[in-house]
Amino acid sequence: MTRTSPTPSLPLLALTAFAAACGGGGNAGGGALPGLTMTFARLPGPGLDAVEITVGVSGSESAPSLSVDRGSLGAPIATGSGTFTSVLTPTTTGEYRVTASLGTATIARTALVLQDVHPDWGQPQAVAGLVNSDGYEDGVTIAPDGQTLFVQYGPFRWSSLLVFQESRGNGGCGGNRLAPDRCSHPWLDTTIGPMAAPERPGFFTGRFAGTTALHNAASFGIGPDGAPVLALTTMFYGFRRQPDGSFAEPFSLAFDDLGDGIIGPFGLAFQPLGGDSHRAVFALKDVATVGNGFDAYTCDVVFGTDNRLGNYAATTPGNPPVRSSPFPSALLDLGDNTGTQGNPCLYIGVGGDVRSVWTDDEYDADVDTGRITVHVLDSGVFPNSNDFTSLVLPDVVNVPGTNAIQPTFRDEGLYFTQDTSIAFAAYAGSHDAAALGYGGNWSAPVTLLQKDTTIASLRVSTADLGKIVAVGEPTVAVVDGRRVLYFVYARVRGIDPITGIADLDFQAGFVAATN
């Protein structure tokens, strides 16, 4: 999952039965009409798991009409008063949009078929409501109470980053838009996805003329078509959970760098402070950061309203902008952990106090690259204390030869991305540095959600269209008494006819625990 940086964060280049109240979807118009409900249940393999679809009908004894955009559906069978079931048989991994209709009432849900799902988890689905779009959704974070979901958004194709780096001889830009001559490509020059209400109100539009990317940067003093690099505009949006389990009511969380949206946070985490007030923790890299990589920062925010984490002003043309004064975001001093302190996660104790901060080293090339670190607060009160003991987790978790990033630690253990699938390592020790650093307190990671492993590179064929080639960014909350895991998945949406590179569509999904 990509940050506000030309470096893809998923290492792709190295290539449930659950009630509708916990996250179904709406109809094509945005909300479920009265009279129809739909839920999914996973029917374990062999092979790809089938999906049992249950449609509830109120006010009629007639069977609904069911359709799916991929795979095959069995005829609906009456299983009770106003209840009908059908079985979806998938053909490959991917999204399966199921629609039920009866008269003028219509409801739709999107089931996600993955290569493998751990037995403790149910049927994955796409998040419904205003979260997913034709643009790019990444950096999924669920607030501790499960009622607010955040995503990083940009109105572009993620794979434009790959086209930018692709050689000139193969139709790409060779890492420079302007040399030896101006490079043009539809994925770089044309936006997709919303940039206004209702989905993305207040999105920064200073770098666009309609759907045309201007390749400018006001905060760097660069005019239209003057940027040699592919600088992408992104903003984080929060969405409120609705009664039907979908998410709507978007509000933004961003730095204002003269409306460019180039400087941005990644890896959100939140500490509740009461009501809608929260302390946000995130990673940031600008000219004022301390280390060579991203550092962790904090800023107080209020859910439900637009938040600005800080402002930037231009200096001399071509040079990075500088922070305003005062600057609301403050460095979180985690001690000497050279390099990136990215994707921070907070572990919050029973009393609401932060007891540890978990980070990864996603963007570096030093000794702990692709390894997860925990920073245990030894004394004082977060975030004012800098009395942390920092340690890289033992090899039983940071398995040698694998890439471990994007941590979420909860009482039961650590959820994280391991080689573009989601893994979990159970933990059975106390919450102190010595215990967390002892390998005997950890169980070996198991895969919870597995990507499609039949695709070895981003040079795909038409047979690969729709497949889910990456899963990551795990984030967990308890909703209505059950653990719900939110995540990002990437599916093959198309193939660029110029370079042959796969168009990867990043979207938000969720799955509920079965126990």
CB 338, CB 390: distance < 8 Å: no
Domain boundaries, the chain: 24-118, 127-512
109-113, 362-366, 382-386: segment of lowest average pLDDT: 362-366
Q: How confident is the model at residue 31 (pLDDT cuts 50, 70, 90)?
A: very low
**Average of per-residue pLDDT across 467-494:** 97
Structure tokens that stand for 77 in this block: 């069978």
**Average of per-residue pLDDT across 63-68:** 95
For residue 106, what is the enclosing H or E element?
A: strand 105-113
- 89-118: pLDDT as tens digits: 999 999 999 999 999 999 999 999 999 999
pLDDT at residue 3 is higher than 60: no
In order of 69, 258, 412, the CA distances from 460 in angstroms are 21, 39, 38
pLDDT (0 to 100) of residue 291: 66
Q: How confident is the model at residue 382 (pLDDT cuts 50, 70, 90)?
A: very high
**Average of per-residue pLDDT across 34-61:** 93
Percent of all residues in the chain with a pLDDT value above 90, rounded to a whole number: 85
Regarding pTM above 0.75, the answer is yes
In the chain, the largest separation of any two C-alpha atoms, in whole Å, equals 71
Residue type, 444: A
pLDDT at residue 19 is higher than 80: no
Q: What CATH code is assigned to 127-512?
A: 2.115.10
pLDDT (0 to 100) of residue 369: 85
- The full DSSP string for 311-374 is EEE--STTSPPEE-SS-S-EE-------S--EEEEEEE-TTS-EEEEEEE-TT--STTTT--EE
Which conformational region is residue 249 in: left (phi greater than 0), alpha (psi within -120 to 50 degrees), or beta? left
pLDDT (0 to 100) of residue 233: 98
In order of 11, 76, 312, 424, the CA distances from 14 in angstroms are 6, 44, 35, 22
pLDDT at residue 82 is higher than 80: yes
pLDDT at residue 293 is higher than 90: no
Residues 314 and 298: their CA atoms lie apart, in Å, by 23
> From the centroid of its chain, how far is CA 501?
22
Can you state the percent helix, strand and coil of the chain, rounding each to 5? 5, 45, 50
pLDDT at residue 25 is higher than 50: no
Residues 43 and 447: their CA atoms lie apart, in Å, by 18
User: Within a 10 A sphere around the Cβ of 204, how many other Cβ atoms?
Assistant: 20
pLDDT at residue 9 is higher than 50: no
Q: What CATH code is assigned to 24-118?
A: 2.60.40
Residues 281 and 298: their CA atoms lie apart, in Å, by 4
**Average of per-residue pLDDT across 177-200:** 97
3-state secondary structure of 462: helix
Beta bridge partner(s), residue 84: 55, 78
- 405-460: pLDDT as tens digits: 999 999 999 999 999 999 999 999 999 999 999 999 999 999 999 999 999 888 99
In order of 27, 48, 394, the CA distances from 97 in angstroms are 11, 17, 41
**Average of per-residue pLDDT across 382-401:** 95
In order of 56, 165, 248, the CA distances from 31 in angstroms are 16, 40, 10
pLDDT at residue 247 is higher than 80: yes
Q: How confident is the model at residue 70 (pLDDT cuts 50, 70, 90)?
A: very high
Percent of all residues in the chain with a pLDDT value above 70, rounded to a whole number: 92
Kindly tell me the number of DSSP H helices and DSSP E strands found in the chain: 3, 33
- 308-355: pLDDT as tens digits: 999 999 999 999 999 999 999 999 988 765 667 899 999 999 999 999
pLDDT (0 to 100) of residue 5: 39
pLDDT at residue 27 is higher than 50: no
Structure tokens that stand for 394 in this block: 């033992």
3-state secondary structure of 291: coil
